[in-house]
Amino acid sequence: MTQVNRLSGGRLDRSKSLSFSFNGKAYKGYQGDTLASALLANDVRLVGRSFKSHRPRGIFSAGSEEPNALVELGSGARQDPNTRATTTELFDGLTARSQNHWPSLKYDLLAVNDRLSGFLTAGFYYKTFTWPATFWEKLYEPIIRRAAGLGSLSMQNDPDLYDKGFLHCDLLVIGAGPAGLAAALTAGRSGARVLLAEEEFLLGGRLIAEDMALGDDPAAHWVARVQAELSSMDNVRILLRTTVNGAYDHGVYSALERVSDHMASPEQGKPRQVLWRIYPKQALVCTGAIERPIAFENNDRPGVMLGGAVRAYANRWAVTPAQSVVVFTNSNDGHRTAKDLLGKGISIPAIIDIRQDAPRLSGVEVLAGAQVIDSSGRSGLKSIKARLANGEIRSFACGALAVSGGWNPNLSLTCHQRSRPEWCEDIASFVPRRDLPPGQLVAGAARGDFSTSRALQGGMNEALKALQNIGLTGQGIELPKAEDADPSLTPFWHVNGAKGRAWVDLQNDVTVKDVTLAHQEGFRSVEHLKRYTTLGMATDQGKTSNIGGLAVMAELTGKAIPETGTTMFRPPYTPVALGALAGRSVGKDFHPTRKTPSHKWAEEQGAVFVETGNWLRAQWFPQPGETHWRQTVDREARAVRKSVGVCDVTTLGKIDVQGSDAATFLNKIYANGFAKLQVGKVRYGIMLREDGIAYDDGTAARFAEDHFVVTTTTANAVLVYRNMEFARQCLWPDLDVQMISTTEAWAQYAIAGPNSRQVLQKVVDPEHDISNEAFPFMACREVTICGGLRARLFRISFSGELAYELAVPARFGDALIRSLMAAGAEYDVVPYGTEALGVLRVEKGHAAGAELNGTTTSLNLGLGRMVSKKKDFIGATLSRRDGLNGEDQLTLVGFQPVSKGDFIVSGMHLMNNEAPTDAANDQGYLTSAIHSPNLGHSIGLGFLKNGHDRLGETLRAVNPLEGGEVAVEVLSPHFIDPEGERLRD
């Protein structure tokens, strides 16, 4: 027989029967069920195993505080470990499996831990497993790791999409129970923009979990009316299945909307979940309260449940966990459970009420002053044992025990900015402090107002207050009459005198004894308690256990609970899938992709691309028949030195600097002089950080008295611009200088090689004379090309050859590369990529990123003489510190293998010939090593102690990491054309 525990009524759509499976067995439920309610309906009691002792566990709660009923939901790449059955909406075809057992849920061999529980107390692992030392990683740890953990991850790529969104509103109402609904309605009617976020898939909170009237109607009717009215308002947006899980600085909230988790898979193109970042002007926390259990011996069996949850299952989901339910309580709340269940025809053998003055309830035996002291039933509760007020012990057969130890305001969001809650004696719990985070208010049970009437009233009042805070006016609404009962609670945390284990934290198997042991061993602060016993560290974040553990510790130390401490609340309120936090910025979209103007053309040529920061650059252009990248790169580099090549250098940072003080300004920015640079000239410049370290090099071209174009390295384009703005705005605010980054605005190509001028002359319009005399090395000029297109021409060279850089507005970049290639055809022009660019610059001895590594000075780089001593510039003073100028400075030199057939690689360290290979004898390291096609052997640049005094020496380049060493000769870094004649031809 199916659904033996199904009752009548409830908020279910019984016309929609749903099939699902648990551990491979098929079951039925209804639309409106959760996985938990459907399992209970089918009398499935054992649903999981506890973390440490592998004890059988059942459903404990009816919400996101669930510690026990965690399942692996779905399968394949959509397998979701540790999913709470209590918040999982049932859908047709749902499959779930229990977790943390072997070989099966019913017969779990790891339950041997339970037999060994006497040994496996809190922190036992700190005291053993240290001998022999090598056994930890090999033996003990793998066993512990395999036994620990809960659900398993598929390790397949998550197939689902996640989105992010931003929402703005006047009032964010968090939680749609009585307080939240009253608040949303009050604010909605005032015309304010309202967001109502509700964790569940129905509005109402406890209003639909209780058998309760509002005014003359069942509460659900009022909820339906409010929902209808809110839905009709354009200024109100209701977000169901949306958990506000973080309260951040300046009133920013994060919320997770589970868009598709109630379906087998998301609809086509829809995300699984959306992470909202919400910017409300005011936020009202109406998150209700969470019930707490009472610890007693063997209180962890399937069937022992929170009373409010039992009620919710009966009233909302029309399910009873068993046909016979005993109630254990310290307040009138338990009596409410008994009453509701009686009304549904469930047998209540007894209410065990710890209060001596417990009220009576007709139709039930109320045992005042009694306590539950034990339970039995290995994989499901069979009976409980109670000690009556007179000391008599009585057993009660029952399938479930509804436990109520009182309620804790759910104040997590009020404490995310590290404020600590304060203790309220009336409800024996923590309540939010008065000084809430700016812009935040709290109402209803979350504030400790537990009656429905006070929740409704509080919601309305706080909404009015919120409106007033932002200059809006609202009016009170007519609230229905509601119960206004006092819970009459007698604080009671655990049953004394237990010989066995009484659980405080169900998931992590922390018992009263563990807390006692922690106390005995000196772990008495809350933080120590938590860390030593793992109390509250499970996936439920201690929602039902933290205060219980604290209460036991308080009892042991003889202090009051608030003196003993509180725990911290940090985001997220409930666990959030990393997928949702990442959104779409993953995989190929992890970072934006920047493409150069010649990208399409390069693709057509079959170029191989390489990531350079966010840029994709052509690395080389393979030709048919080339089977190894080296063949391609060698060919490209040779072609440049022999005839001509073209390379897209658009990625270099470009900064347009204008103003009558532009030269003065650049003179402060660069370490070398720029004040006297002539119009029409370019100068190579080096920039230091204020600490005197060289961080970027590039050129500045002067196009007019008041106009420069600065180039930076690709890597530092953003940083240099930022630093220049800092200098302009913060250091020298009255200089007449303006600047803008134009990196993307101009496409720029290097045309390099002895035939570069011939190629250019075919492109540059004839009225511009670019002969060597008219346009010498380091000249720059605005020209027109291809019959009138405005362009900038620079005669600068990175390769060491006669070379130019030609820039056009970016939208002409594609046309220009095609024109250049066409014009160069008669000279066998080649496109060359970043790899050949690197080869050419190493041959020439130019420093690049590997040398400008953030720790090297201009002295290290061999550029010391460039640095002006006559002016102030960023980095001038501190570059003169002794430590940056003393003996044994590393200087940039060139290297080649003594035996030309040997290869050297970047990252080799340099050792003197006779010295041992160790750190004490380290002489430096290789920064850039290449095969030089023009020299026919391996060469490299590197930093060597006193390198400039050691030219001609032989050293050992060692690579213990990969093995091997190479005898190298120290050379000038300028392997090709050291006099620079080619540049000036």
Partner 1 sequence: MIIPHPLLGPRDAQEFTYLGDASLINRPDWQSENAMQEFHDYLYLRDNPAGLHRELWFHEQGDRSWLVVTRNTMTHEITQVELASDVARSHGRSR
Partner 2 sequence: MTYSGFRVIREALTGHKGWRPVWRDSKPKPSYDFVIIGGGGHGLATAYYLAREFGEANIAVVEKGWIGGGNVGRNTTIIRSNYLLDGNEPFYEFSLKLWESLEQELNYNAMVSQRGILNLVHSDAQRDAARRRGNAMILNGSDAELLDVDGVRKLYPFLNFDNARFPIKGGLLHRRGGTVRHDAVAWGYARGADRRGVDIIQNCEVTGFRIENGRCLGVETTKGFIGATKLGVSVAGSSSRVMAMAGMRLPIESHVLQAFASEGLKPTLPGVITYGAGHFYCSQSNKGGLVFGGDIDGYNSYAQRGNLPAVEDVAESGISLIPALGRVRLLRSWGGIMDMSMDGSPFIDKTPIDGLYFNGGWCYGGFKATPAAGFAFAHLMSTDRPHKTATAYRLDRFRTGQIIDEKGQGAQPNLH
State yes or no: residue 487 binds partner 2 (CB under 8 A). no
CB of 603 to partner 1, least distance (A): 30
State yes or no: residue 577 binds partner 2 (CB under 8 A). yes
| Residue pair 102/110 in contact by the 8 Å Cβ criterion | yes
Show contacts with partner 1 in window 878-917 (CB under 8 A): 878, 880-881
State yes or no: residue 200 binds partner 1 (CB under 8 A). no
Q: Which of 65, 902, 101, 219 is nearest to 542 (CA)?
A: 65
Rg (C-alpha) for the chain, rounded Å, is 38
Out of partner 2, partner 1, none, which partner does residue 162 contact, by CB within 5 to 8 A per kind? partner 2
State yes or no: residue 913 binds partner 2 (CB under 8 A). no
Instruction: For tokens 């689902």, name the residue.
Output: 160
> One symbol per residue from 715 to 734: x for binding partner 1 (CB under 8 A), - otherwise; what is it?
---x---x--xx--xxxxxx
Nearer to partner 1, 417 or 488 (CB): 417
Q: Which amino acid, 214? A: L
> One symbol per residue from 727 to 756: x for binding partner 2 (CB under 8 A), - otherwise; what is it?
------------------------------
Out of partner 1, partner 2, none, which partner does residue 246 contact, by CB within 5 to 8 A per kind? partner 2
Contacts 24+ apart (CB under 8 A), 497-501: 497/373, 498/295, 498/296, 498/297, 498/373, 499/297, 500/297, 500/298, 500/374, 501/117, 501/297, 501/298
Using CB under 8 A, which of the segments 212-220, 328-336, 471-479, 903-911 binds partner 2? 903-911
Q: Is cis: bond before 103, omega within 30 of 0?
A: yes
Nearer to partner 1, 323 or 868 (CB): 868
Report d(CA 223, CA 236) in Å as an integer.
Answer: 16
State yes or no: residue 591 binds partner 1 (CB under 8 A). no
Out of partner 2, partner 1, none, which partner does residue 732 contact, by CB within 5 to 8 A per kind? partner 1
HSE-CB of 112 using CA atoms within 13 angstroms: 5
Q: With contacts defined by CB under 8 A, how many residues of the chain interact with partner 2?
A: 121
Class of residue 658 by CB neighbours under 10 A (exposed 0-12, middle 13-18, buried 19+): middle
| Binder among 960, 980, 981, 984 for partner 2 (CB under 8 A) | 960
Using CB under 8 A, which of the segments 154-162, 321-329, 597-605, 788-796 binds partner 2? 154-162
Greatest Cα pair distance, the chain, in angstroms, is 116
Using left for φ > 0, alpha for ψ between -120 and 50, and beta otherwise, residue 48 falls in: beta
Instruction: For tokens 């009873």, name the residue.
Output: 320
CB of 927 to partner 2, least distance (A): 8
Phi, psi angle pair for 737, to nearest 5°: -150, 140
Q: Which of 53, 47, 45, 58 is nearest to 110 (CA)?
A: 53
Q: Which amino acid, 873? A: F
> One symbol per residue from 30 to 49: x for binding partner 2 (CB under 8 A), - otherwise; what is it?
--------------------
Q: Which of 709, 553, 513 is nearest to 118 (CA)?
A: 513
Q: Which of 614, 649, 604 is nearest to 810 (CA)?
A: 649
Phi, psi angle pair for 166, to nearest 5°: -125, 130
Out of partner 2, partner 1, none, which partner does residue 541 contact, by CB within 5 to 8 A per kind? partner 2
State yes or no: residue 611 binds partner 2 (CB under 8 A). yes
Nearer to partner 1, 125 or 732 (CB): 732
> One symbol per residue from 412 to 441: x for binding partner 1 (CB under 8 A), - otherwise; what is it?
-----x--------------------x---
Show contacts with partner 2 in window 512-571 (CB under 8 A): 513, 517, 520-523, 525, 527-528, 531-532, 534, 537-539, 541, 570-571
Out of partner 2, partner 1, none, which partner does residue 725 contact, by CB within 5 to 8 A per kind? partner 1
Residue 803: how many CB atoms within 10 A of its CB?
26
Instruction: For tokens 């250019």, name the residue.
Output: 760
Residue 255: how many CB atoms within 10 A of its CB?
24
Show contacts with partner 2 in window 277-316 (CB under 8 A): 277
Show contacts with partner 2 in window 237-256 (CB under 8 A): 246, 248-249, 252, 254
Out of partner 2, partner 1, none, which partner does residue 423 contact, by CB within 5 to 8 A per kind? none
Q: Is 280 helix (H, G, I), strand (E, B) or coil?
A: strand
Identify the H or E element spanning 339: helix 332-343
Structure tokens at 891: 């200087």
| Binder among 24, 76, 118, 625 for partner 2 (CB under 8 A) | 118
Using CB under 8 A, which of the segments 187-195, 201-209, 401-409, 871-879 binds partner 1? 871-879
Q: Which of 561, 333, 292 is nearest to 451 (CA)?
A: 333
> One symbol per residue from 234 to 263: x for binding partner 1 (CB under 8 A), - otherwise; what is it?
--------------xxxxx-----------
| Residue pair 355/343 in contact by the 8 Å Cβ criterion | no
Show contacts with partner 2 in window 629-658 (CB under 8 A): none
State yes or no: residue 589 binds partner 2 (CB under 8 A). yes
Q: Which residues bind partner 1 (CB under 8 A)?
A: 248-252, 279, 417, 438, 661, 664, 690-691, 718, 722, 725-726, 729-735, 872, 876-878, 880-881
